[in-house]
Amino acid sequence: DIKVCEGQLPDGPSLFFLHFDHNEIEEGPMGHMVQDRYLRPVLQAAVDKNDQIDYFPNVKIQLHQCTAECASVTTDAGQDYTGKLLIAADGRQSATATRAGIRRKGWDYGQSALVCAIEHENTHNATAYQYFMPQGPLAILPLTNNRSSIVWSETHERANDIMRLDDAAYLSVLRPRFGDFLGDIKLAGKRYKYPLSLSIAEEFVKPRFALIGDAAHGIHPIAGQGLNAGLKDIAALCHVLQDAHHRGENIGAIDVLERYQEWRRFDVNLLALATDGFNKLFSNSNALLRAGRALGLGIVNQMPKMRRSFIREAAGLGTKDLPYLMR
């Protein structure tokens, strides 16, 4: 389940909230929280046992070239490789995209996300919580047992100050933000800080070249859709390439790759617009807006049809045109 509410220090969460109940859809849970430290080893194991994948860890691409005949790369170890298609998945600051001459649009949100895991006395009942605070959103995401992941936004300056605190002082700042419904809390691992920005590539493809994941689009984490969007990229690109292969088409041809770009760009831009709008709407302390936001959440919570529509969208079930790998 997911509960969303307006929050304002020192008042804490508002009484007006929106509850997304997974029992309102037939497909089961709305989603799953998978920690990076568990996901990476599983992916690595899948790569290791696939004899069609050559894996080169700790290697960087120094230069690449895409011609009508092939895509080629040269690594920092001086090795050269060629193929039919080069796919870049090297993050928001994609050096590969920059070398390809692809420009980006976006902006800095003036916020940093503070991330940590906590242990708490009371059960979270497998429920995620999203509080909209004037400084930025705060998410409480359920993990195994009585543990949760916290993603908490503050201005860059304030976030830097908080990161300099010791663990006890850090918790004293965190506790008032979501009250005592989880009981006593303590840190369950390292603390992290990430700057928040919007960054969208103006082109996802060029001849024999494609961008996926954060290399193509980096959005605000307010909806928790960053990884899901990247997985959709992979599934859509695989779908397009397999379809082209069955038709006897060149998988590196621009007209083939533009099918992937057309498929994904509208969805990505819509997601970026929604997350950007939500962040700007909720990250302020205007009294009228606060009242309107709280009332709006309460009204939507009383409208089952609209609420179910939001639930299906959050669960990734609202899109009819899904790649076959995600059906």
Amino acid 10: pLDDT: 39
CA distances from 146 to 142, 168, 313 (A): 8, 19, 28
Q: What is the pTM of this model?
A: 0.87
Q: Pick from 28, 111, 62: which is nearest to 282 by CA?
A: 111
Q: What domains can you pick out in the chain, each with its CATH number?
A: 58-103+202-285 (3.50.50.60), 108-196 (3.30.9.10)
Q: What is the pLDDT of residue 134?
A: 74
Cis, bond preceding 134 (omega within 30 deg of 0): no
- One digit per residue, the tens of pLDDT, for the chain of length 327 reads 777 776 654 344 555 566 666 666 666 676 788 888 899 999 999 999 999 999 999 999 999 999 999 999 999 999 999 999 999 999 999 999 999 999 999 999 999 999 999 999 999 988 888 887 777 788 999 999 999 999 999 999 999 999 999 999 999 999 988 778 899 999 999 999 999 999 999 999 999 999 999 999 999 988 788 898 999 999 999 999 999 999 999 999 999 999 999 999 999 998 899 888 877 776 666 666 666 666 666 666 677 776 667 666 666 666 667 898 887
C-beta atoms surrounding 72 within 10 Å? 16
How distant is the alpha carbon of residue 100 from its chain centre?
A: 24
CB 6 within 8 A of CB 287: no
Whole-number pLDDT of residue 15:
54
- Answer yes or no: are the C-beta atoms of 86 and 66 closer than 8 Å: yes
CA distance 318 to 291: 29
pLDDT of residue 12: 47
Nearest to 258 by CA among 235, 234, 241, 271: 241
pLDDT of residue 95: 95
Beta pairing class for 217-218 and 192-201: antiparallel
Beta strands in the chain (DSSP E): 2-8, 12-20, 61-66, 71-75, 80-83, 86-88, 104-120, 128-133, 136-142, 147-155, 185-187, 192-201, 205-206, 209-211, 217-218
What is the rounded CA–CA span in Å between residue 323 and residue 127?
28
